[in-house]
Structure 1
């Protein structure tokens, strides 16, 4: 019987001798428990995905082994009745791979992309199609024995040659084992279109076309019932509904795109009743997002299906047929409100398996609801796939994403209760290096600001901890996940209350004696970049170093940018007026809260990083800040990323930014 690491190695197509050698090397490497390097932290995962067949009998695990700078992809099939015995590996070839899913019990879909061409036949690849574009995204459909491999849309030569992305699946059509629904760009009409695609032949059949702004669809029982349109900048989302049997689309919502997930109208699942969906939304007069029925025929909300005291529901767990099993929320760790109370006990047992140090996120369930796949992650676990058999009560690992990042090499995280100066209760997280303290401290405010931090793996946090620096993350007022009132408490308080929350958490940690008060720095991205700059303005003697990535610096200019880009009548512009401030009535407050206008008050050296293609926070913001700091005679380094936007950076860009941040912080934290 193979060990867990041996099963992982087998998934990458290694012979048994190599498997045993890799196990020995891994064990030797972890004996010394050396902190991970940036390269190790950013190394591409070995296991790229896992999927459970609809009948719950077979687990497919997708892996990519790096050989001479190329990714050799393979799929390992595990018998769910005994995953550790006799794994069977299918080699795919030299391709970057993104994910995996079952089309039916015998047909597998593999998401891949290619930047190198003409080399695949030599490696025994199942794919021999060549493309002229530099980066293509496709789906390979293949039998479990490797037979009948086809690229979806492959029969349409023109669409293949002119469309770089043919990987967008809308509906797996579980009642139709032969077809799935996919969205792809229609090169003739210049719109996104919906297609039925045969997973055995790859042939695509047009179902309907969207309009110029269509972003995607939501389907129920294979029928499109919602259509999502987005503005050119990607900030405003318009949702249209079409009840079963109707022909015309009716507008349901027009909202800031980020609100789709955060506040207003997030469709999580269908129901057995045609035209009735399950939607996460804040009820009128309520505070927390709950799960409610929504009738497409009347466009009205119905009964509440699930809710969590004190936390917003943000997702749904479904079985393979799409039936709703439970609602997801985050309360430090990932939690669920299950329809069946017995399932709550099963999930609690899975979580207890890790002693509370990990999140157990359920990602798939068999169609009978008896077998699950889970992605387990935590501060000291970048991510591992586990399989759970409900009847047998077996919970076992099937593949580590990054097995070189073992628990003893990573830093622990503490959960802190913080009381702000006005009595507001806050949650914070402190990552502690694996060495005796007191440690230097990096304060790391999150972006959004209506996002949140949680008890989970954080790349920046672990990289900083590996340097011997503690890391503090605070869910200040204005953060998401804690209800509408908590988010509203941050409106127009970017420069005061939200900053005070961070300052009070820092003061509490310093008072505890675990960190050095003379070695404190601040680093953040997006809103966190703004918070880093504003923190340095407000506490010039506290922060010895500042890193601001894609952060706002002049709030009046930020509002002008949104108005120009989104339009004066857009929900995105209205949101920022409500959240940051309206220059017509809040100009003095916004000027006080703009770091660029108070650059002379900053004492610490500042690193500014910004992508020139950023459409969320204009790169002009960092230029304004750099100019203000230089005019005030302050120390500033301004790095511009030529081909990068606000997020989704290429790995080499991510590495360069993280490396630059560490170098900048180390000059004061390690002095």
Structure 2
């Protein structure tokens, strides 16, 4: 089959111009539009493709189903009004399972308890019928490629809660798992869970193989393996340990051998073999001395190879892959050469016979484009953001600079078309304990299109650059507002030294932790910025710490406690605010509740410090809850604020 596909690819001849015209400044509503299409998937037989489409700026997503041999024909369209389609999956060559949501309350139910509830439904493509599955509390766990007509569902009994069982502290809601037959509407119990275990994983044929548990007395997370229908403890990690132990798969030929991303006493995380029988690490499969291993790449044909790992993923300047499977490597290599503006090229979907593919590309100059390969032809299915053309977007560069205490800080800069020095917006990522690789970033491209260089620093505490870089955010107390803040400022000053940025035209904008960093920046005495914009910002460390302490357990709780307890709390620094400040918050933010903004604004008022505030009505913390109107309103004012109100004369 691969040889056949190689011939197909070799026969495709495309001519794309690499010449870029003069960039045009686009209206902010172009960036506010949600993806026109997304989640393009093939039916198992390759005869149909389905996608999510947002027909106009105020519409909810609908599903469109096309015949792959005639993409020009009128598609079959399905909506779920008054519910909103969130995602879908092909189960058979004529059945699709949908995940739906509906807003059911006006206010959040508390931290991490949003305003939406979810359900699932079945779509019969041939009969053009949609039917909600009357299974209260059910959610899709996975497809079962080897069992046509069936999916794996999980259920939370209404009386499930957190209790303590023996020496193991609870904290997991008891789940039960069923194989659900779409044709008969019947379900078969696979496993009945309890509140002592969670995070279950299943093989492609529906067998449980992995779970987590807790030892509350010793404050440890337990890794469990399924052996002969019994759960066996195979590894423990203390809450005090910051080392990772991330199980990413298993050896199909020897299922007792897990593939684990872990430091195992080293600075950088590598891919290791872990023997669940001996409970010991085995061979280091692949590691690097510059960055962590990010994960693995599974086989592109998930229908026939649902559990097969074909390569390793890591990222630095961009995503890189190292393959175990020569055929998969050759296939991706050819696709990389074939796709225009190639960046992160992935096979989004593939037919069970392997001959028909959906290929997705995203890069700094491509917000996302889907292609169909079928019968020796490559066709463009569609662009996610058709108004954002390559010539109007900006390149992204990976850089490294030295912080004032000598630490090397990786970073990404989005470089506007034109000649510098440019005005600069420093845009720290959220988290803060995440890894960030910039491929296409909507906010960075919006700002670059208006002439701003954007710096996205991977300050200490960012993941992907080893244990020392991560842990340096905790050593001798939390570094939020201190050394972590210096890392951001030092990046801005480095760009000034390089002649790329005007030192009198610099600002900071961030969301979540990035919003926290913007509030801290507004109060710094050695001020280098002309203004700051803080979105969904943690403003009161004690308030946020109380949210986390009451709802998290394990190392994540300790991580948050150590960081927020010892870092600068912006609300304590309000009197020091010395630059124009713009605060933005969603009214139903469940991760950083609105109370943060309310308390901070009250403190600004008490100190007679001017500010601007925008509340996004009905917006949660996460980007997929920001409607076109939310984004248009915010982007329009953000650009005008930078241009007109950011320090003397604007940015």
Q: Deviations over 1:335-359 (max 9, x none)?
A: 2121125644543443355687622
Candidates 50, 57, 63, aligned match of 2:40: 50
- CA contact 2:409–2:459 (8 Å) conserved in 1: yes
User: Are 1:107 and 2:123 an aligned pair?
Assistant: no
* Matched residue, 1:496: 482
Match of 1:73 among 62, 70, 73: 62
Are 1:340 and 2:325 an aligned pair? yes
Structure 1 residues 200 and 54: alpha-carbon distance in aligned structure 2, compared to 1, 3 A threshold: same
The equivalent residue for 1:138 is 120
Partner residue of 2:370 out of 361, 385, 388: 385
Partner Cα distance (1:345, 1:309) in 2: 26
For 1:334 and 1:273, locate their aligned partners in 2 and report how far apart those are by CA, in whole Å.
Answer: 28
With 69-78 and 199-208 compared, the bigger mean Cα shift is at 69-78
1:70: how far off?
Answer: 4.2
Gaps of 5+ in 1: 1-29, 117-132, 583-589
Question: What secondary structure is seen at the aligned counterpart in 2 of 1:510?
Answer: helix
Give TM-score scaled by structure 2 length: 0.78
- How far 1:464 moved relative to its partner? 2.0
In the aligned structure 1, how far is the partner of 2:77 from the partner of 2:142?
A: 27
Judging changes above 3 Å, is the alpha-carbon distance between structure 1 residues 134 and 623 closer, same or farther for their aligned structure 2 residues? closer
Aligned partners of 2:91 and 2:97 also within 8 Å: no
Q: What's the CA shift for 1:614?
A: 4.8
1:604 and 1:60 map into 2 onto residues whose CA distance is 52
Inter-partner Cα distance in structure 2 for 1:264 and 1:494: 22
Q: Distance in 2 between matches of 1:134 and 1:506?
A: 40
**Secondary structure in structure 1 of the residue aligned to 2:62:** strand
- In structure 2, the partner of 1:329 is 314
| Structure 1 residues 453-510: Cα deviation after superposition (integer angstroms, max 9, x where no partner) | 3231112112222333222111122211122222112223223322222222111222
Q: CA deviation at 1:539?
A: 5.6
Change (3 A) 1:559 1:171: closer
User: Which residue of 2 is the match for residue 314 of structure 1?
Assistant: 294
Structure 1 residues 309 and 177: alpha-carbon distance in aligned structure 2, compared to 1, 3 A threshold: farther
Alpha-carbon distance in 2 for matches of 1:69, 1:614: 21
1:469 equivalent in structure 2: 452
Matches within 5 A, 1:53-452: 53-54=43-44, 57-58=46-47, 60-66=49-55, 69-71=58-60, 73-77=62-66, 79=68, 89-93=75-79, 96-104=84-92, 106-113=93-100, 136-143=118-125, 146-147=126-127, 149=129, 151=131, 154=133, 156=134, 159=135, 162-163=136-137, 166=138, 168-187=139-158, 191-211=174-194, 216-220=199-203, 221-227=205-211, 241-248=224-231, 250=233, 264-273=244-253, 275-276=255-256, 278-297=258-277, 299-319=279-299, 320=302, 321-322=305-306, 323-341=308-326, 343-353=328-338, 358-364=343-349, 373-387=358-372, 397-452=380-435
Distance 1:303 1:371 in 2: 36
TM-score (normalizing by structure 1): 0.76
The equivalent of 1:576 in structure 2 is 560
Decide whether the 8 Å contact of 2:34 with 2:57 is kept in 1: no
Distance in 1 (CA, whole Å) between partners of 2:507 and 2:123 is 50
Contact 2:179/2:189 (<8 A) preserved: yes
- The answer to whether 1:549 aligns with 2:535 is yes
* Inter-partner Cα distance in structure 2 for 1:59 and 1:467: 41
Cα deviation for residue 522 of structure 1 reads: 0.5
- Residue 532 of structure 1 deviates from its aligned partner by 1.6
Change in Cα spacing, 1:557 to 1:103, as seen in structure 2 (3 Å) is: closer
Distance 1:318 1:563 in 2: 36
SS of the residue corresponding to residue 91 of structure 2 reads strand
1:292 deviation in Å? 2.8
Q: Please identify, of 539-548 and 106-115, the stretch whose mean Cα deviation from structure 2 is larger.
A: 106-115
The 3-state SS of whatever aligns with 2:461 is coil
Separation in structure 2 between the aligned mates of residue 612 and residue 255 of structure 1, nearest angstrom: 37
Q: Which residue of structure 2 lines up, in the alignment, with residue 11 of structure 1? A: none
Distance (whole Å) between structure 2 residues aligned to residue 362 and residue 542 of structure 1: 44
1:25-78 deviation digits (Å, cap 9, x = unpaired): xxxxx99964333332232322222224556x4461414252695457343445
Contact between 1:280 and 1:313, CA under 8 Å: does it hold in 2?
no
Distance 2:407 2:32 in 1: 37
1:13 corresponds in structure 2 to none
SS of 1:451's partner is coil
Query: 1:598: Cα distance to partner?
Result: 3.0
Tell me the equivalent position of 1:7: none
Aligned pair in 2 of structure 1 residues 72, 426: CA closer, same or farther (>3 Å)? closer
Local SS of the residue matching 2:523: helix
String of CA shifts for 1:560-591, please: whole Å, max 9, x gaps: 55445547xx4333213444555xxxxxxx4x
Relative distance call for 1:294 and 1:616 in structure 2 (3 A) is: farther
CA contact (8 A) 1:411 1:432 kept: yes
Pair 1:520 & 2:520 matched: no
| 1:484 and 2:467 correspond | yes
TM superposition shift of 1:302 = 3.4
Whether contact under 8 Å (2:43, 2:94) holds in the other structure is no
| 1:172-203 CA distance string (max 9 Å, x none) | 22221232212234457685431211133443
Aligned partner (choices 599, 604, 611) of residue 636 of structure 1: 611
Instruction: Give 1:437 deviation, angstroms.
Output: 4.2
Query: What are the superposed Cα offsets for residues 499-557 of structure 1, whole Å, 9 maximum, x if unpaired?
Result: 22222211122233333322211011222122222223336542111112233345466
In the alignment, structure 1 residue 668 sits paired with structure 2 residue 645: yes
Query: What is the alpha-carbon distance in structure 1 between the residues aligned to residue 378 and residue 268 of structure 2?
Result: 33
Q: How many matched pairs? A: 591
Q: Alpha carbon RMSD of aligned pairs, Å?
A: 4.0
The structure in which a higher percent of residues are helix is: 1
Aligned ranges 1:27-42 → 2 under 5 Å: 34-42=24-32
Q: Which has the higher contact order (CA 8 A, sep 6+)?
A: 2
The alignment partner of 2:141 has SS state of strand
